[in-house]
Amino acid sequence: MAKTRPGKRDVDSYTIRGTNKVVKAGDCVLMRPSESNTAPYVARVEKIEADNRNNMKVRVRWYYRPEEAVGGRRQFHGAKELFLSDHHDTQSAHTIEGKCIVHSFKNYTKLQNVGPEDYYCRFEYKPATGAFLPDRVAVYCKCEMPYNPDDLMIQCDECKDWYHPACVDMTVEQAKQLDHFICAEHGSDEDVKKLQETSLTNGKAETKRQRK
């Protein structure tokens, strides 16, 4: 942790202006962007300081959105995905607009309801080099893409792999009605057709978010 500078003192918390929300070190916050009509920045508070005039500063570690990183936003990036960077900064505490939660990828996929304050992170990012950690993740489906928790996927009852409906010639609506699914590699075309014909109107297909 960075040392407190002369004339500064550490404080335990900061109450966001105009609210009763209390921010402490370790919390994730939404910070006012420099440009209007821009989504708020997301950061993790590492330290809170006050000077002799009680001006409050926060030492933060920034999260980057996919479109802000090298390579930009890709198909498998979820709408609420963030990268934890090694970019640290000190900002006025008054630029904090609200609190948020940055979940681990695993915990995010278990959420039953995703709120406006919910985000997730599965990669660390180094802006200076454009490097990601980890530099590879598991891939799924015939398209061999990492999992995007915003997209519906169905699981083969035989191989247990996950598939995008479009990659197995199915609509999302059809996939939601399936009670069972067998991919083409582990069942004949007749088997797949039969499963589709006997799918329930109130089907039990589960999204990958619910089953992982």
pTM: 0.80
Q: How far is CA 64 from the centre of its chain?
A: 11
Check which CATH number belongs to the domain holding 110 and give it: 2.30.30.490
Structure tokens given for 119: 């985000």
pLDDT digits (tens, 9 = 90+) for 86-132: 999 999 999 999 999 999 999 999 999 999 999 999 999 999 999 99
What is d(CA 36, CA 119) in angstroms, rounded to the nearest whole number? Answer: 22
Q: Cα angle vertex 111, ends 110, 116, to 5°?
A: 145
- Within a domain: residue 30? yes
CB–CB of 44/26 below 8 Å? yes
Nearest to residue 125, comparing CAs of 89, 54, 72? 72
Q: What is the mean pLDDT of residues 174-178?
A: 91
What is d(CA 90, CA 60) in angstroms, rounded to the nearest whole number? Answer: 6
Q: Most distant CA pair in the chain: distance in Å?
A: 77
- Within a domain: residue 58? yes
Q: Are residues 103 and 192 in the same domain?
A: no
CB–CB of 120/78 below 8 Å? yes
Print the domain residue range for 193. 154-211
pLDDT digits (tens, 9 = 90+) for 48-60: 999 888 889 999 9
* Confidence at residue 57, expressed as pLDDT on a 0 to 100 scale: 95
